């Protein structure tokens, strides 16, 4: 589908599908939200049941960075982690704000902003004119400034059903060029010098009250210099449509359903990711992880995000790409909200 100004139509219902040019504004307040027994829900329910998050990854063989802002209305949280593969140095920071205080995520995926503050720790993301700017300033001394070039990479933008009365809109990109710097552990790292690539996940909607997902992502520079990105998922956003895709030098290649094989209780064991169309057949070896468990009243989360390397093959119609030691992520997540 072509680019649309808003997601929710005059009938109060979202348009489902894959949008070649994305959606300008997620006008969730216009949605005709109802209970499972078809009772109309008011403005307060619309506000508190609507969830949003942004996740940005910066990936290179020299440095892995993950940054997220999550707004669940009753609570918000943010995290930042940094991993240096050569030394295996790892540091993470996590923050929580009751009632999503000092947290804001715009409803415009392509040119909006997001902000989180907890004390002297701030995270901001601003998109405009095909560039997305990430800024992190932490009390610990960690500072990140990254400008991500989204102009030459086609986004995967889609909306799918979520449970009986919900929906999820997501916009994803991977393997995008970026520049800027990271100050961490007494080092100043130039993102352009280490050829870091960025991925962006912008997601919002009325998600299932209890859900889970598995996820795989990769951003790598191939031996011939081309950029290869990947986003794979199962358990969410696959009701009629999927968010599974590859990006080869910015060109979007759609992928079918994906089977994730892994042992949840052996976190160091390898994962296998295979697509039903035979295009993707990869093994992921975890080399580090960020793990968090929250169980508080109505909200619960059992979250494990691994970072590590992919190996295997990607079989396109006109070429076979062999993958060796390409850095990326795998995630196993249970959520109740």
State the pLDDT confidence band at 276, using cuts at 50, 70 and 90. Answer: very high
Quick check: 280 and 260 in contact, CB under 8 A?
A: no
* Count of domains forming the chain: 1
What's the mean pLDDT in 134-160? 97
Closest CA to 242 of 261, 216, 219: 216
* Mean pLDDT of the region 140-166: 96
- Determine phi and psi for 30, rounding to 5 degrees: -85, -5
Looking at residue 2, its pLDDT comes to: 65
The values of phi and psi at residue 9, to 5°, are -85, 180
pLDDT digits (tens, 9 = 90+) for 90-99: 999 999 999 9
Q: Interior CA angle at 205 toward 199 and 208, to 5°?
A: 105
Residue 16 has what DSSP assignment?
A: P
Grouping H, G, I as helix, E, B as strand and the rest as coil, residue 29 is helix
pLDDT at 246 over 90: yes
Are 252 and 281 spatial neighbours (Cβ–Cβ below 8 Å)? no
- Say yes or no to pLDDT of 87 above 80: yes
pTM assigned to the model = 0.95
| pLDDT confidence of residue 271 | 98
pLDDT at 1: 64
Quote the DSSP letter at residue 34: B
Q: Which structural domain, as residue segments, surrounds residue 246?
A: 4-336
Give 313's pLDDT tier (boundaries 50, 70, 90): very high
């Amino acid at each position: 589908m072509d680019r649309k100004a808003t997601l929710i139509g005059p009938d109060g219902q979202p348009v489902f599908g894959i949008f070649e040019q994305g959606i300008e504004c997620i006008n969730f307040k216009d949605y005709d939200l109802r209970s499972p027994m078809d009772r109309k829900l008011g403005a307060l329910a619309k506000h508190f049941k609507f969830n949003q998050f942004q996740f940005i990854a910066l990936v290179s063989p020299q440095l892995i960075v993950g940054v997220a802002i999550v707004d669940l209305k009753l609570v918000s949280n943010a995290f930042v982690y940094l991993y240096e593969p050569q030394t295996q140095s790892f540091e993470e920071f996590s923050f929580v704000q009751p009632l999503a205080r000092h947290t804001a995520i715009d409803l415009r995926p392509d040119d909006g902003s997001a902000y989180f503050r907890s004390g002297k720790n701030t995270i901001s993301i601003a998109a405009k004119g095909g560039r997305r700017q990430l800024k992190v300033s932490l009390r610990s001394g960690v500072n990140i400034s990254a400008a991500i070039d989204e102009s030459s990479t086609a986004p995967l933008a889609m909306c799918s059903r979520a449970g009986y009365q919900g929906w999820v809109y997501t916009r994803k990109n991977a393997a995008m060029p970026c520049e800027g710097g990271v100050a961490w552990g007494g080092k100043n790292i130039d993102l352009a010098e280490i050829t870091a690539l960025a991925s962006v996940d912008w997601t919002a909607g009325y998600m299932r009250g209890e859900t889970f997902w598995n996820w795989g992502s990769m951003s790598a520079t191939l031996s011939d210099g081309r950029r290869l990105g990947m986003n794979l998922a199962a358990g969410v956003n696959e009701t009629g449509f999927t968010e599974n895709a590859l990006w080869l030098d910015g060109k979007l290649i759609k992928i079918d359903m994906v089977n994730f094989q892994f042992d949840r209780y052996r976190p160091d064991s390898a994962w296998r990711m295979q697509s039903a169309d035979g295009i993707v057949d990869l093994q992921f070896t975890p080399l580090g992880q960020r793990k968090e468990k929250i169980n508080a009243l109505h909200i619960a989360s059992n979250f494990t995000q691994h970072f590590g390397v992919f190996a295997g093959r990607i079989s396109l119609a006109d070429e076979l790409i062999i993958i060796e030691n390409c850095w990326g992520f795998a995630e196993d997540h249970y959520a109740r909200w």
